[in-house]
Amino acid sequence: MAGELSEDIFEKVCGFDGSSIRGFQAINESDMLLFPDPTTAIIDPVCKVPTLSITCNIKDPITLENYTRDVRYIAQKAEAYLQSTGIADTSYWGPEAEFYLLNDIRYGQNQHSGFYSVDSVEGSWNSGREENPNLGYKPRYKEGYFPVPPSDTLKTSLRDLSEAHEAGVDVEVHHHEVEPRGKANRHPLW
């Protein structure tokens, strides 16, 4: 909470439950520690209530050693290795944020059945819908990697998302993506 934020937070540690993150820790060894890195602090531009976001290093509470599954620590080790071998002095790391923008998601499960269904107005299977504003401009399966308007009905939304670099993530490129398993082209995936 904001009332607890003070300069000594960078000298103290914050505890969290590592078993709440899939693949991190078992319940019997769930206590983990966060060590905030003040150089990463930003005011999150997306949150309605002013929110400070800080990247932390994760450590074991008993040994205080860096946690081996902490992706930040893995990147730091890789960079240190590159420097120690003379391969490079600097390395650059960044996320590849891919996500779906869908118009309808349904799922259910009971004793005898389970299902999921996703839908997007840009899907070629929707070319016959009367209420669809984009009739006739549907990318066909496996042909949606770089659609442009009018096929790409969300170009403005994508531009707005990619300009939100105040969150500390600079966007290098953006485009539609083809569903990675090759089964179908789930539009729009970026």
Mean pLDDT of the chain: 79
Residue 178: the pLDDT is: 66
Residue 19: the pLDDT is: 78
Q: In terms of Cα–Cα distance, which of 183, 182, 178, 22 is closest to 100?
A: 178
The string of pLDDT tens digits covering residues 49-76 is 888 888 889 988 888 899 988 889 999 9
| Phi, psi of 157, rounded to the nearest 5 degrees | -65, -40
- Plot region of 4 (φ>0 → left; ψ -120 to 50 → alpha; else → beta): alpha
Tell the burial category of 69 from Cβ atoms under 10 Å away from its Cβ (0-12, 13-18, 19+): middle
Give the pLDDT mean for 34-43: 87
Residue corresponding to tokens 């600097």: 90
What is the value of pTM for the model shown? 0.60
Q: Is the pLDDT of residue 168 over 70?
A: no
Q: Is the pLDDT of residue 180 over 60?
A: no
pLDDT more than 90, % of the chain:
16
**Domain(s) of CATH 3.10.20.70: residues in the chain:** 2-85
DSSP 79: H
Give the pLDDT mean for 165-174: 70
**Alpha-carbon span 86 to 96, nearest angstrom:** 27
Give the containing element (helix H, strand E) for 75. Answer: helix 71-85
Q: In terms of Cα–Cα distance, which of 15, 9, 44 is closest to 30?
A: 15
Cα of 97 vs its chain's centroid, Å: 5
Residue 81: the pLDDT is: 94
End-to-end CA, the chain: 34
Residue 165: the pLDDT is: 64
Instruction: Output the CATH code of domain 2-85.
Output: 3.10.20.70
**Alpha-carbon span 140 to 147, nearest angstrom:** 10
Residue 109: the pLDDT is: 96
Residue 135: the pLDDT is: 63
Please tell me whether residue 15 adopts helix, strand or coil conformation. strand
Residue 113: the pLDDT is: 95
Which residues make beta-bridge pairs with 46? none
Residue 147 in tokens: 């659609």
Higher-confidence residue of 90 and 190: namely 90
DSSP 137: -
